Chain A
Amino acid sequence: MNCEKSRELFAEYLGDEISKTNARGLREHLKSCSGCQQELALLVRTRSALRVGWPEEPVPQNLNLEFSTPAGQSFWSRLLPSRLPGVAWASITVTACFLICLATLALLQAQVRIEKGSFSLSFGRVARAVAGPMTINGTQPDVEAVKILLDQSLKQFELNQSARLQQALQETKLEWESKRDADFARVAKELQYLESAQNVVWKETLTNNSNMETLARAYAQAGYRPPQQ
């Protein structure tokens, strides 16, 4: 065994966990190596000095720890007093349940209604009524009366709609007819003006001989022949 290997075993020796084989090998090496022998002796003395120099001492004061409740419940026992009467615990439990129910209903946007002894529960947003409750002479109608009223209102609404539609059609028709007559009159007037204007032009053209000659040449070049009288 060399010095390097020997010093690797120092920790095991100092920790009282060296095997018999390693102890035998170390002992053999130390017999022949004064350096390792001296080093190990100093380390052993250092270890002894530590043990002697700083012995165990008692805990300076009482730890003030008293464990009586089951382990794992200490968190709650710190939050809540452990010796409340049963009634107090019951009321705390009921209140907690009630608050949890309220929170749940609020979370679900629940709406609770009690009308004429009937209970209804709905969840989510519900459209609110614009008008108040329907009344007839200050009293609430029954279902049949409401149906009749609804039928009447519907029929009246349909009649009104039909009348308004007829009136609109009639007005549109009259408007279009008057518009059409005016257009016809305007077109007739424009045609009359155009016809008279053309007549004037023709008359002026016929009276202008040079124009006539130019026109006759143009016709002759195009291959037209004057109609035979």
Chain B
Amino acid sequence: MGLIRLADGDLVRRVVRGDGSAFNLLVARWEKKLFNFAYRLTGDRDDAFDICQDSFIRAYEQISQLKDPSKFPNWLFTIARNQCVSFRRSEARMPKCENKEDEDVLNLEESLTGSSQVRIDGPHHFEQNELRLIVERALAQLPFEQRETIVLKVYEGLKFSEIAEITECHISTIKSRLYLGLTQLKKILANQRGAS
């Protein structure tokens, strides 16, 4: 049977037994998910790429510590999440310049639409790029805990119990963060309301 048909847990067992090439398949399966997860958390493509790469290397080094191989995805997200937290701390020590490029693009988009205000809850149809920038900036305004909860729930589709395990919080806290985060996002997006 080809490796490609094996489940994550079986591939993990093969890696632990010494078959390093099985890990390449795990990388191929999860690199896109992991990259997008890190990207939505950090808001920076290059940082997300580095975090993704480091997370896979760390996972490979510590894979023998994974007790339940079937939980590999959640374990991988936990590693990436911790990498994001560490990265966030180091960024806090070393302040980064504002992303002028995004600012300029947004201004360009606004000037093209002829308005600086857009609405999310109306019949207005956004250009994809425009909506992307609005969502990205709105997510960036959320506290990290709410942002990671929304990314894991809305984008990655994890269960509350899995998110609680990854973030080491109680399920009720996760539910609360999701509700508060979405409410906050609703307000931020509503503030973009314009004469569309």
- Chain A residues near B (Cβ < 8 Å): 7-8, 10-12, 14-15, 17, 42-43, 45-47, 49-54, 56-61, 63-72, 74-75
Contact A59 B35 (CB under 8 A): yes
Output the nearest chain B residue to A38 by Cβ-Cβ distance: B121
B168 to chain A, nearest CB (A): 19
- Chain B residues near A (Cβ < 8 Å): 15-16, 18-21, 23-24, 27, 31-33, 35-36, 39-40, 45, 49, 52-53, 56-57, 60-61, 63-64, 120-121, 126, 128, 131-132, 134-136, 139, 150, 153-155, 159-160, 175-176, 178-179, 182-183, 185-186, 189-190
CA distance A63 to B33 in the complex (A): 13
Contact A63 B36 (CB under 8 A): no
Contact B178 A71 (CB under 8 A): no
Output the nearest chain A residue to B161 by Cβ-Cβ distance: A17
A34 to chain B, nearest CB (A): 15
- Collect the chain A residues with CB atoms within 8 Å of residue B64's CB: 71-72
Contact A47 B154 (CB under 8 A): yes
CA distance A8 to B135 in the complex (A): 25
CA distance A69 to B160 in the complex (A): 36
Contact A50 B179 (CB under 8 A): no
B43 to chain A, nearest CB (A): 10
- Collect the chain B residues with CB atoms within 8 Å of residue A59's CB: 31-32, 35, 49, 52
- Collect the chain B residues with CB atoms within 8 Å of residue A74's CB: 57, 60-61
- Collect the chain A residues with CB atoms within 8 Å of residue B24's CB: 65-67
Output the nearest chain B residue to A68 by Cβ-Cβ distance: B20
Contact A15 B153 (CB under 8 A): yes
CA distance A30 to B39 in the complex (A): 36
Output the nearest chain A residue to B153 by Cβ-Cβ distance: A15
Subset of 16 A-B contacts with CB under 8 Å: A7-B179, A11-B179, A12-B175, A15-B175, A17-B159, A47-B154, A49-B131, A50-B150, A53-B126, A59-B49, A63-B31, A63-B53, A70-B18, A72-B63, A74-B57, A74-B60
Contact A45 B132 (CB under 8 A): no
- Collect the chain B residues with CB atoms within 8 Å of residue A8's CB: 175
Contact A67 B61 (CB under 8 A): no
